[in-house]
Amino acid sequence: MLRWISKTSMILFFVAILTSCGGLSKAEKQEFYEKAIPIGQEYFKKYYDAEVEFNRYEVHLPMSSTIVLYGHVKDDPYTSLSLSLSLPSLKVNSAGGPGDFIKKRKSEDEANSQ
């Protein structure tokens, strides 16, 4: 019984160490957030003709290596939006929001023709 508890404790210790080593400092997270804001604003402007304001974020490391920005349409605080970007490239993965808003997304051809 004691041996089982010892092995379990050791495994939990290593898992805790491995998951905490993959993180970023608070300053690094804030830096990614500040770099991602103009990318997100440009994305929503280009594909949805919408000006957005981001007010918070989450960094998902080490599981998915993404940063998710949360905000709303500039003149409509009730239209909540989110945008997932890959880390460290800050390439847009997906956008989220109300269904009727997201359905208005322009195609690549429409967005690039302007």
* Domain CATH for 98: 3.10.450
In a domain, 10, yes or no: no
In the chain, the number of structural domains is 1
In a domain, 82, yes or no: yes
pTM attached to this predicted model: 0.78
In a domain, 101, yes or no: yes
Give the pLDDT confidence of 67-114 residue by residue, as tens digits.
999 999 999 999 999 999 999 999 999 999 999 999 999 999 999 987
In a domain, 86, yes or no: yes
In a domain, 45, yes or no: yes
Q: Are 81 and 44 in contact (CB under 8 A)?
A: yes
Between the CA of residue 87 and those of 36, 53, 59, 77, 113, what are the distances in Å?
A: 10, 21, 9, 27, 28
Which residues form the domain of 35?
A: 24-112
What tokens does 37 get? 């804001």
Report the alpha-carbon distance of residue 114 to residue 110 in Å, rounded.
7
Half-sphere exposure for 12 (CA within 13 Å, toward CB): 6
In a domain, 37, yes or no: yes
In a domain, 17, yes or no: no
